[in-house]
Amino acid sequence: MASEDEEEKVLLHVYDLTHGMAAQYSEAFLGRKIEGLWHTGIVVFGKEYFYGGGIQCCNPGCSMAGQPSQVIPMGKTSIPVSIFREFCQEISPRYTPETYSLLSHNCNNFTSEACQFLTGEDIPSWITGLPAEVLSTPLGAMIRPIIEGFERSMKQSLGSGASDWAPIVGGDESSSIADSSSSSASSSSAPPADASRSEPGPIIDSDPQSLSASIQSSDSFRTIAQQQTEEKQKQSHHPHTKMKLYSISEKPLLNGDDKASDYVKLILGRKVKRDIGFSKTDVVTMKSIVQLLKQPESEQASKKVIDLLERILSSWPANQLGSVVALLRLLLIRPDINHHFSSVDGGLPIIYSVISTAGLDEDRETDEVIPPSLQMLVLCALSNLFAPCSRNVSDLARDEFIFNAALIGLTAQDNVAVRSRASSLLFNCAIFMPKRNEDEVIQVATTLSDHINHEKAKAPRYRQLMTLLHLMYRNSEVVELLIALDFKISTNSNEVAMSPKINLVIVDVNKILESLDDL
């Protein structure tokens, strides 16, 4: 199983369905040479997964296709096998014997989708892009019976009782398959089951030992479509918040480090105008912050610390302010500092001033060059206002200054770090926004629906998708809006950022969209 510390290799097994005939005869019939007509399977977690008469798995190289003509490394995945199997279960209604099409919906479409889910990369275009018109040529007419025979063998083998491969659809891994004759499936000499009864069964492991513990009667043997219909009938009155989602999170995204002493040295070393400089008392107060951050959260900051921070934050210019905001960001994790700076009657107006100084206020007009590093740190500090100790998260989530700062940071075309931190802040706002249809909720959803399909960096795109997922999860109006906008998430790795984590969120977003679309 893949874990955070251990990644699994992902291989693509490539098979030539013509067994060399295409390479031998294609030039004479087509006027150009093609190397083969390709069937593919994804090899990961010690199994080969492919689409024939449904999504199936077997020991690598043991399917009806024989031995692969090529084995292509596709990278590594950190996604656990349980999540991948759930992914196969989720997409299985689209990969059935009835939906199979040699030209438009075949094994290569499944491996392409599975590979992007696992690694964020697509399979080679020379596999998926083989022109469909090949099968309408004389060569195509010659090899079509071979391919169709292969397809029939795949579909019939669903009920073959063979111990080294099995269908993958339906419920959890402990569910059963086929009828009671499957009890002999652990033997390689077991006779084939009645092919007329071969319907897709629940997801199982093809290891014979695991099969013997999961056999039930034929009464439990149903197609995935039947299972889903029954499930919909049971849950049709439930909101989509009852769904099982891979990526949903209620935890705010915070930012911190252990460099407080470095920031204090930088602050004290700044050359600023005398009237906004430090007295000896100020120097002692500033140095005390380092020790304060090492103390339990119950240890409160002195009024001198808060007064000094407010004076610096409200008077220093943008090019001097970075280290001060970096220090403030660490302090905002502490309850007393957080309560003060998140309160309108306390230091929140100072926060508004810092937002404006950093150029994250839509009403600010200035020719001053704002350091992107300052914008990034301000967005980090704003995110930390949503720390678990905060008392005012609902108000902060809808605060016009904070909300607009996130949206402005989202448009920082030339700085990934700024967009990433803005996306984190927007996620934190989304967590605490009201469930009802508020203007802010719709504005965020509309903005993200555009940005998500143009973002080329992984970190901000992942956080933007997480934000959209959370809004959809809590607000049906957002889902209806996205459907009305005909929103589709781009998965083209040449145009947008893709990764295994991004793939998981995309699966969840599409699941919610499809759930409402089906009602």
Domain 8-220 carries which CATH code? 3.90.1720.30
Q: Say if residue 147's pLDDT is above 60.
A: yes
Q: What is the pTM assigned to this prediction? A: 0.61
Q: Say if residue 264's pLDDT is above 70.
A: yes
**What are residue 113's DSSP bridge partners?**
none
Write down the mean pLDDT value for the chain. Answer: 77
Instruction: Name the active-site residue from 107, 115, 380, 429.
Output: 107
Q: Which helix (H) or strand (E) holds 180?
A: none
pLDDT in tens, 187-209: 222 233 333 333 333 333 333 33
Cross-sheet strand order for the sheet of 54-58? 70-77, 8-16, 38-44, 47-52, 54-58, 165-167
How many C-beta atoms surround the C-beta of residue 185 within 10 A? 23
Q: How far apart are the first and last CA of the chain?
A: 36
Instruction: Name the active-site residue from 39, 240, 340, 451.
Output: 39
The answer to whether the CB of 15 falls within 8 A of the CB of 65 is yes
Q: Say if residue 393's pLDDT is above 60.
A: yes
Percent of the chain with pLDDT over 90: 39
Sign of CA dihedral 318, 324, 329, 332: negative
pLDDT in tens, 52-82: 778 998 889 887 778 898 999 999 887 878 7
Is 107 tagged catalytic?
yes
Domain ranges of the chain: 8-220, 239-253+391-519, 255-385
* Residue 247: per-residue pLDDT: 83
pLDDT in tens, 80-131: 787 788 788 878 888 888 788 776 788 999 999 899 888 878 899 888 876 4
Q: Say if residue 5's pLDDT is above 70.
A: no
* Residue 429: per-residue pLDDT: 94
What is the mean predicted confidence (pLDDT) over 3-26?
A: 76
Q: Say if residue 214's pLDDT is above 70.
A: no
Task: Place 32 in a pLDDT band, splitting at 50, 70 and 90.
Answer: low
Torsion of CA 439, 440, 441, 446, to 10 degrees: 90
Helix (H, G, I), strand (E, B) or coil at 72: strand
pLDDT in tens, 86-96: 788 878 888 88
Is 39 tagged catalytic?
yes
pLDDT in tens, 474-518: 888 899 999 999 999 998 888 898 888 898 899 899 989 888 655
Instruction: Tell which residue, 404, 411, 415, has the closest CA to residue 356.
Output: 404
What is the mean predicted confidence (pLDDT) over 292-315?
A: 93
Q: Say if residue 267's pLDDT is above 80.
A: yes
